[in-house]
């Protein structure tokens, strides 16, 4: 509502074949740019274009490593572009990328845009905000409910793509995927105006399209001080192929080559001694080979990552961070219904005061069964009716403003 240009960008690249699904999956991304003179708009657009391009181009690399390197390469692209033009100097952008593969979900994240997972009646934030307030809370310098915490601006970020030649990328996952899961990617234009306690019930009760639309409308109705980008992904079916390997975080030097060499040497010695008829020495060499092989296997297993990676580039003080970083209930409540009632009442009052032409008969028809459903305890269905009424009203208002030659962002 207050920005003349849109510094957000997004990308959706669904897998177009079973092979693509196995190797790279479906990719979704949200980026929120920063910088004057359209620099933020350029930075976020480069991220939205280059991260999918670099990720898909690395056809042989592990998907986790490929996604990390894609974000790092996009950072280099943005930084190089910023160095070429003084007006674009120090431009930057957040980036939150979600890849849904056959055997799990992985996330690459920089900045304070977010990725959530809705599972059942819980909304889980799977990304850590790289913001001053989150870093100070994580390090134990301030408490979340303290007066000092409330005085720190929430929009100061500590990490972004572009300003520096290199960037630390948080990798989250792999997380298992279940039918019925929903994932939400968004810029802070949404989370700055709409609480998790509201996001959860709306994403749970509504289809993805209606959920995305009403979330954007709510953020705009509360002032819309920033651009708002929302992607809702619905997992309808998900069955990993038989025998599909589990995603692992690639590690360097995890094979204990010294013990492997010792095993081979002892086996060779045992074979030579057996050939020469020295059976006692052969048995000793064979036992040594078995011991070396056991040590090699143990070291290999110990070095393999047997847990999902959690913010692997996290070097902040304080306890180690791990997803989910925040959770909130997503079950519809009467408090949520009352909030949406207040939104609709405020829209009616504003329309009367400003003489907006709204077809309230159409809106009221969407709410026809509202009270009956409330008495029956069908809260999710009431939320659906309220959301439809809000979206219809906002759609009518946008159409009027466009007819007058004005533009309402959303």
Q: What is the pLDDT of residue 242?
A: 57
Mean pLDDT of 245-268: 58
Q: What is the pLDDT of residue 155?
A: 80
For 189, half-sphere exposure in the C-beta direction (CA atoms, 13 angstrom radius) is: 32
Let me know: does 286 contact 270? Beta carbons within 8 Å: yes
Q: Is the pLDDT reported for residue 305 higher than 60?
A: no
**What are the pLDDT digits (tens) for 204-237?**
999 999 999 999 999 999 999 999 999 999 998 7
CA nearest neighbour of 296 among 269, 248, 264, 268? 264
Q: Is the pLDDT reported for residue 408 higher than 60?
A: no
Measure CA 255 to chain center.
32
Q: What is the pLDDT of residue 407?
A: 44
Q: What is the pLDDT of residue 273?
A: 76
Instruction: Give ∠ CA 160-92-39 in degrees, rounded to 5.
Output: 170
d(CA 235, CA 251): 30
CA nearest neighbour of 189 among 94, 117, 121, 311? 94
d(CA 410, CA 406): 13
- Per-residue confidence band for 299, with pLDDT thresholds at 50, 70 and 90: low
Mean pLDDT of 187-197: 96
**What are the pLDDT digits (tens) for 71-94?**
999 999 999 999 998 889 899 999
Mean pLDDT of 296-302: 57
> What does pLDDT average to over the chain?
85
Q: Is the pLDDT reported for residue 316 higher than 50?
A: no
d(CA 43, CA 170): 19
CA nearest neighbour of 126 among 321, 276, 294? 321
Could you give the 3-state DSSP secondary structure of residue 58? Answer: coil
- 143-152, 252-261, 280-289, 378-387: range with lowest mean pLDDT: 252-261
365 DSSP 8-state letter: H
Reported as type and span, the H/E element at residue 151 is: helix 147-151
Q: What is the pLDDT of residue 318?
A: 42
Give 182's strand partners.
118, 234
Mean pLDDT of 293-322: 51
- Per-residue confidence band for 101, with pLDDT thresholds at 50, 70 and 90: very high
Rounded to two decimals, the pTM is 0.79
Could you give the 3-state DSSP secondary structure of residue 320? Answer: coil
The token duo for 316 is 């902040």
Q: Residues for the chain: how many in total?
A: 410
Rg (CA), the chain: 27
Q: Is the pLDDT reported for residue 43 higher than 50?
A: yes
Q: What percent of the chain has pLDDT over 90?
A: 56
Q: Which is more confidently placed, 123 or 348?
A: 123
Let me know: does 177 contact 100? Beta carbons within 8 Å: yes
């Amino acid at each position: 509502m207050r920005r003349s240009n849109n510094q957000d960008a997004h990308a959706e690249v669904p897998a177009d074949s079973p092979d693509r699904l196995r190797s790279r999956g479906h990719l979704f991304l949200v980026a929120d740019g920063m910088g004057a003179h359209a620099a933020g708009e350029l930075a976020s657009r480069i991220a939205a274009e280059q991260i999918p391009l670099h990720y898909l181009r690395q056809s042989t690399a592990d998907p986790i490593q490929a996604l990390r390197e894609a974000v790092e390469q996009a950072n280099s692209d943005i930084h190089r572009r910023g160095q070429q033009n003084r007006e674009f100097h120090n431009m930057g952008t957040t980036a939150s990328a979600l890849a849904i593969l056959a055997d799990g979900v992985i996330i690459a994240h920089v900045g304070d845009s977010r990725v959530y997972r809705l599972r059942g009646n819980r909304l889980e934030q799977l990304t850590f905000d790289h913001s001053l307030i989150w870093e100070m809370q994580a390090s134990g310098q301030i408490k979340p409910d303290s007066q000092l915490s409330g005085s720190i601006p929430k929009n100061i970020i500590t990490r972004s793509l572009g300003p520096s030649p290199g960037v630390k990328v948080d990798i989250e996952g792999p997380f298992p995927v279940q039918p019925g899961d929903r994932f939400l990617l968004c810029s802070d234009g949404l989370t700055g105006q709409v609480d998790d306690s509201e996001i959860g019930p709306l994403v749970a009760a509504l289809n993805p399209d209606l959920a995305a639309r009403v979330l954007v409308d709510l953020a705009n109705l509360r002032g819309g001080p920033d651009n708002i980008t929302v992607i809702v992904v619905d997992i309808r079916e998900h069955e990993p192929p038989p025998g599909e390997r589990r995603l692992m975080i690639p590690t360097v030097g995890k094979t204990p080559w010294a013990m492997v060499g010792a095993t081979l040497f002892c086996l060779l010695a045992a074979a030579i001694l057996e050939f020469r008829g020295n059976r006692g020495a052969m048995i000793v060499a064979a036992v040594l080979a078995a011991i070396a092989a056991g040590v090699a296997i143990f070291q290999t297993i110990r070095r393999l990552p047997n847990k999902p990676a959690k913010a692997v580039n996290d070097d902040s003080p304080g306890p180690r961070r791990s997803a989910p970083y925040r959770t909130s209930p997503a079950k519809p409540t009467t408090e949520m219904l009352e909030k949406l009632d207040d939104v609709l009442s405020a829209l009616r009052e504003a329309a009367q005061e400003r003489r907006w032409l709204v077809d309230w008969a159409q809106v009221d028809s969407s709410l026809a069964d509202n009270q009956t459903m409330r008495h029956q305890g069908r809260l999710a269905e009431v939320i659906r009716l309220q959301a439809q009424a809000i979206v219809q009203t906002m759609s009518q208002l946008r159409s009027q403003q466009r007819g007058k030659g004005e533009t309402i962002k959303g």
